[in-house]
Amino acid sequence: MPVLNEADYLQRAVETVMAQDVDGPFELIIALAPSTDGTTALARRLADADPRIVLVDNPRADIPVGLNLAIRAGRFPTIVRVDAHSELEPDYTRRALETLRRVRAANVGGVMRADGRTPFQRAVARAYNSPIGLGGGAYHGGTEEGEAESAYLGVIRRAALDEVGLFDESIRRGEDWELNLRIRRAGYRVWFDPALSVTYWPRESWPRLARQFSATGRWRGELVRRFGRGNSLRFFAPPLLVLDIFVAAVVAVLQLSGVLGGWWSVAASLVYLPVAAYAVVIVGVSLGPGGGRGWRDKLWTAAVLPTMHLAWGWGFLVGVVRGAHDTVDTSRLGARNTPLP
């Protein structure tokens, strides 16, 4: 479990891990980044109360670095990746181990079921759980068991990890997708089992959500630079939307200024159709059952969906053109949101 500034979520996440119904010994290894909200002190209290909890320092704060530090410190032949923003059902690990054996997979994951405590967070959760929100990946609501492109969190055979290598520490977002790409290319199975469910608590504020999705999009652009067609086509929808909105704005200016007229103006107006269709979809999702019950829920859903899509799409375009370089997800930082050294 890599952890940075998770004082509001860490204790409950740890409690659900330690309550796992597993037939055999297990340990929880927490990779502690330099937090500013009391997370480190809380983690130490939890470790003092349970010898199965092991702490390792992650001074660089990067998720893949923390994951690798935790994996290297582990003693057992199966790695169960968990997150401080997640909560596991008591039978999660046992079911995952059974699926690993049954289908002879190297990595097994289930469904991310987002939830929220505030109107805004619930709107983000609805977007996560909707095919419109995050593009319909299996772990965002799939119901059919089978081989998958990637796995949410993941229950991984350590032997497979040792063979293909651990997480790529040069990738700060999308590191799980890249690892699963190597696992699949090595001839192993990555498996989706909808019977496995994990509760996930998304970002709690609009600025943090935008920063998170911008950084994630930029790293996806970097992954496209590195792996090209290994990336699913669904990743290209948000950047195409951003490009279409930009072109539509340019066309509108040219039409209003009189530079573009006649049949050229009529033909150029076709660029408005995707934007209009997108707006209709957002309104339909927000007003329908997927948008929540009250008017506040529906308004937040209408705001959250474009925020996710446009921030991710813009980040993607920047990542493809310029690369991700040292881009970090600043939504994980403390209240002052100052980059770590």
- 286's tokens: 């927000």
- pTM for the model stands at 0.88
Pairing label, strands 28-32, 2-3: parallel
Instruction: Please report how the helices 175-185 and 206-227 are oriented relative to each other, as an axis angle in degrees rounded to 10.
Output: 30
User: Which of 142, 169, 202 corresponds to the end of one domain?
Assistant: 202
Which residues lie below 8 Å from residue 114, measured CB to CB, with a gap of 6+?
A: 124, 125, 126, 128, 129, 199, 200, 201, 202
SS3 of the chain: helix, strand, coil, percent, to 5 = 55, 10, 35
pLDDT in tens, 148-179: 999 999 999 999 999 999 999 999 999 999 99
Q: Mark whether 22 and 113 lie in a shared domain.
A: yes
Check the CA dihedral 202-203-206-210 and report its sign: negative
| 116 found inside a domain | yes
Indicate if 122 and 12 belong to the same structural domain. Answer: yes
pLDDT digits (tens, 9 = 90+) for 110-155: 999 999 988 899 999 999 988 888 765 555 566 789 999 999 999 9
DSSP, collapsed to helix, strand or coil, labels residue 143 as: coil
- Residue 277 in domain: yes
Torsion 23-24-25-28 (CA) sign: negative
Is residue 212 in some structural domain? no
Q: How far apart are CA 73 and CA 116, in angstroms?
A: 33
Neighbours of 22 (CB within 10 A): 16
For residues 233 and 290, membership in a common domain is answered with: yes
Do 237 and 131 share a structural domain? no
Report the CATH number that the domain containing residue 195 is assigned in CATH.
Answer: 3.90.550.10
For 292, list phi and psi in degrees, rounded to 5: 100, 180
Question: What would the pLDDT profile of 32-53 be if each residue is shown by its tens digit?
Answer: 999 999 999 999 999 999 999 9
Tokens of 341: 């050294």
As for how many domains the chain has, the answer is: 2
Give yes or no: residues 49 and 183 share one domain.
yes
The domain in which residue 93 lies consists of 2-202
Cβ neighbours of 247 (radius 10 Å): 15
